Chains A and B, each alone.
Chain A
Amino acid sequence: MNREEQILDYNYNDFDDNALGHVMKWQGNQPPLGKPAPDFPLWKLEEDGKTLTETTLKTVLKENPLTIVEFGSFS
């Protein structure tokens, strides 16, 4: 898939069987517990609600001895 197809695939239009079985893969190839996870770029949503400041997951995790990461969205 090219970049545009990946965006459309991940940001599906319908919450249906495809979303359950295709995007939500809990038993997939997740980073294992107990070993350093791969790093990824992240963008911090600043207080103005518009500005995005680029950082990385590892940079964020270094800020505290432990970090709880809740994944989710409005919907």
Chain B
Amino acid sequence: MNESATRLAEQGVGSIFLYTHEAHPGENYPPHRTMEDKAKCAQGMRDVYNVNRPIYLDDVAGALHIQFGGMANMTWIFNKAGVPLYKSRWTDAKSAENAATYYLDVQARRKNRERLAPFMVERIDYRDVNKEKRLEGLGRAGQKAVDDWVKLYEQDKLFFKPGTDPGA
């Protein structure tokens, strides 16, 4: 998402990272009990993954995260008035950039006084799946994070399947 955020920033699109709970707690990144715990983990993520976007922390009890769906790595896009326009249960840079580019075009058309009405659309997008890379990332959090993930992976409970929920 870093590269995408940089490209979109040139067009006036903001990007932030909203730090939630540890979805896969491990020995190195254990469950948070305080905001200080959360800040320490967030800084670790910024250092290791070179996150170039402003990082904001949700409350330690996850009030915002839970309200918006609680998924481990979801993305939402909002307009300036705080209206959500797009939500994705998983983060994918191409999907989010595609949507943001579309909404920029809508805003430009409105400035040109085109008469536009909103409508709902549903779609399936696709993301990269790389098990080795995923395990490498979880390994940084700790062996427990790996073991918990593998357990559910082997039970085939980790990926969205049409018609089922919650999936991840």
Chain A interfacial positions (CB closer than 8 Å to B): 3, 6-7, 10-17, 19-21, 23-45, 49-50, 52, 55, 57-58, 60-75
Contact = CB atoms under 8 A, between A and B. Distances in A.
Given A42-B58, A49-B40, A74-B41, 9 more contacts: A11-B25, A14-B25, A36-B83, A38-B67, A44-B55, A50-B39, A58-B82, A65-B12, A74-B140
B: interface residue count bin: 35 or more
A33 B8 CA distance: 22
Chain A contact residues: helix, strand, loop or mixed: loop
Contact of B66 (A10, A13, A20, A39): A10
Interface string B80-108: 11111111010100001000100110010
Interface of B: 1, 5, 8, 12-26, 29, 31-33, 35, 39-49, 53-87, 89, 91, 96, 100, 103-104, 107, 118, 120, 137-138, 140-141, 145, 148-149, 151-152, 157, 165-168
Contacts of B73: 70-72
Nearest to B15: A68
Nearest to B13: A66
Contacts of B138: 75
B83 A11 contact: no
Contacts of B82: 36-37, 39, 57-58, 61-62
Contacts of A71: 18, 20, 65, 68, 71-76, 91
Nearest to A33: B84
Contact of A24 (B35, B72, B91): B72
A67 B77 contact: yes
Contacts of A75: 22-26, 29, 137-138, 141, 145
